[in-house]
Amino acid sequence: MLKDITIGQYFPGSSLIHRLDPRFKIIILFIYILMLFAGDSFICLGVGAVFTVFAILLSRIPMKMFLKSLKPLLPVLLLTALMNLFFVTSGDVIFKWKFIKITSEAVSISIFMFVRITLLIMGSSLLTYTTSPITLTDAIERLLSPLKKLKMPVHELAMMMSIALRFIPTLFEETEKIMSAQKARGAEIDSGSLTARAKNMVSILVPLFISSFRRADELATAMECRCYRGGEGRTRLRQLKSAPRDYIALTITLMFYICNLIVGKL
Amino acid sequence: MENIIEIKNLHFSYPAEEDDTPVEVLKGIDLEIRKGEFVAVLGHNGSGKSTLAKHINGILLPTSGTVTVGGISTADEEKIFDLRCRAGMVFQNPDNQIVSSVVEEDVAFALENLGVPYEEMRRRVDDALKDVNMYEYRHHSPAQLSGGQKQRIAIAGIIAMKPECIILDEPTAMLDPQGRKEVMSVIRRMNREHGITIVLITHYMDEAAQCDRVVVMDKGNVILDNTPREVFSHVEQVKAIGLDVPQVTELAWELKKAGYDMPQDIITEDECAEAVKRLFERE
């Protein structure tokens, strides 16, 4: 049951998008988000949509995975659309019933917001679908490394994140073991009222916490044994090298961005 | 042969908690381990064997007495990383010593910390992975590996530092028989082919029987220190402190007690089979 949970939803592959330097992918995503929020017209969104579809096709990940990624956020999407529909009051009234007034502008704005957020989610999903969490952590560490000069604990944060990623499967396995052990002792985890189930969760969480602390202690000792002393003077086995394709991808993105700006001005 | 590890009159107590008297875990240990030796440390739970292991690379510091590895005192704070490169340590639970979610990056962890340049790191990581026969798994996630494979990765992470000696604290205690066999064969090969000094803390007698030398600890003292053959011939003394002898040694001992003429220095299955065969022939 817990095995099905995957964090980051990475789909291994070797498409062009997979092979892009993760640092560039993050920067491209950033420009993409700016692009979506820069223009106010549907044509601007159209440019963004073309870019998204183009990138998704290149990633060779089936479109339905992207639609799936929208599912958990559908309530938020619908709420945003509905809010705009009912509360935008400018423009011609096209529908009126008691106190509800819907204007033509409200319709267009709510569709606009819906599409904009949909594109935003799909674009971000593309990053996590094509980049493994550990690579992503690494890229974030490197992109943020200038902040080290401002005494930001960039290395420490990245190390914490990568250790967390490393221990997710281990802790899931352990949770399952504890659950079985407690079930064998008569704990009702899957049945009973909500409060009863919440109470029973305590019997799983307490052993899990205790064992996590023990693991943390042992891991710290093992890291010390392997000469860990923080980020200073560390070299890396994982080399992030930018290739010509990364610069080309960045250029294409910038071209889309400029195109978007020009279309917005028309 | 010169000594690599020298432990002189080592006392250690864990710091006292409130209104508690400190518990003395190690009570004056003298131990010298020569370069290239393969030493097993045996002892019951609470005999201080793990505490002793943690002194060898400076994770714990003596309350009194000294521990030196290759001439460096573990109390010398300036040389602590130098010391830890010389004396690597492998722990019981493979899950709790693997840092990265990619096998090869975990093996590289120590080298990354030491600031080894990329080309050399790449070479040393690949060599270490080949040494433990895990090269083809270099891009896997540790979560996909068995216990024995994970423990071999942990050993590779230490080998990559090119240590002179490796201390293993019950490395096979959490493994299945297959995993134990794999790990033991890697450890033996490291000792024979690379001349790395091995200190193996274990409670499996058959593993101790494969070593050059067995040190038996009880209540913070070393009580026996000799070849496995010699140590296990003291069947009664070993049993008195709650340890076992290898099964074949016990069989020979029981036969002797029952009045049969069996040699008392049997530690391998072949020797035992041979002795039993001779016994049959004589009867």
DSSP label at residue B47: S
Structure confidence at residue B117 (pLDDT): 93
Percent of chain B with pLDDT over 70: 99
Chain B environment of A226 (Cβ under 8 Å): 84, 88, 99, 109-110, 113, 157-158, 161
Q: What is the identity of the amino acid at A123?
A: G
Chain A environment of B157 (Cβ under 8 Å): 226
Q: Does A132 fall in a domain?
A: yes
Mean pLDDT of B38-49: 90
**Considering CB atoms only, which of A170, A229, A235 is closest to B116?**
A235
Mean pLDDT of A226-230: 89
Chain A residue with Cα closest to B91: A222
Cβ pairs bridging A and B (under 8 Å): 92
Tokens of A3: 């095995």
Is the predicted ipTM greater than 0.85, yes or no? yes
Query: What is the tens place of the pLDDT at every residue in B159-196?
Result: 999 999 999 999 999 999 999 999 999 999 999 999 99
* β-pair partners for B40: B200, B214
CA dihedral B171, B176, B180, B186 (to 10 degrees): -90
| CA A108/CA B50 separation, integer angstroms | 71
Residue A196 Cα distances to A35, A103, A127, A175, angstroms:
49, 49, 40, 19
Beta carbons within 8 Å of A54's beta carbon, 6+ residues apart: none
Rounded (5°) CA angle B63-B66-B71: 150
Which of B100, B29, B102 lies closest to B63, judged by CA?
B29
Mean pLDDT of A72-78: 88
Give the total residue count for chain B: 283
Chain B residue with Cα closest to A170: B143
Q: Reduced to 3 states, what is the DSSP secondary structure of residue B246?
A: coil
Residue B47 Cα distances to A86, A145, B32, angstroms:
76, 47, 19
Q: Are B248 and B266 in contact (CB under 8 A)?
A: yes
| Alpha carbon of residue A266 to chain centroid | 34
Structure confidence at residue A3 (pLDDT): 45
**Considering CB atoms only, which of A134, A170, A226 is closest to B113?**
A226
Beta carbons within 8 Å of A212's beta carbon, 6+ residues apart: A171
Q: Does A21 fall in a domain?
A: yes
Class of domain B3-245: alpha beta
Q: Which of A173, A227, A234, A238 is most worth mutating to test chain B (most B CB atoms within 10 A of its CB)?
A: A227
Tokens of B163: 């240590």
Determine whether the interchain pair B113/A227 forms a contact, defined as Cβ–Cβ distance below 8 Å.
yes
Across chain A, mean pLDDT equals 87
**Domain span including residue A130:** 2-145+242-265
Q: Reduced to 3 states, what is the DSSP secondary structure of residue B23?
A: strand
Determine whether the interchain pair B113/A222 forms a contact, defined as Cβ–Cβ distance below 8 Å.
no
Beta carbons within 8 Å of A186's beta carbon, 6+ residues apart: none
| Alpha carbon of residue B197 to chain centroid | 10
Chain A positions with Cβ closer than 8 Å to B = 133-134, 162-163, 165-166, 169-170, 214-215, 218-219, 221-229, 233-239
Structure confidence at residue B19 (pLDDT): 67
The reported pTM is: 0.83
Burial class (CB in 10 A: 0-12, 13-18, 19+), A26: middle
Tokens of B94: 């493979």
Helix ranges restricted to H, B3-115: 49-56, 80-86, 103-114
Q: Does A221 fall in a domain?
A: no
Task: Give me the residues of B, 12-71, that contact A with CB < 8 A.
Answer: 57, 59
Helix or strand run (H / E) with residue A149: none
Structure confidence at residue A8 (pLDDT): 56
Chain A environment of B105 (Cβ under 8 Å): 134, 237-238
Q: How many domains does chain A divide into?
A: 1
Mean pLDDT of B66-85: 90
Determine whether the interchain pair B81/A227 forms a contact, defined as Cβ–Cβ distance below 8 Å.
yes
Beta carbons within 8 Å of A13's beta carbon, 6+ residues apart: A59, A60, A61, A130
Structure confidence at residue A4 (pLDDT): 43
**pLDDT band for position A1 (cuts 50, 70, 90):** very low
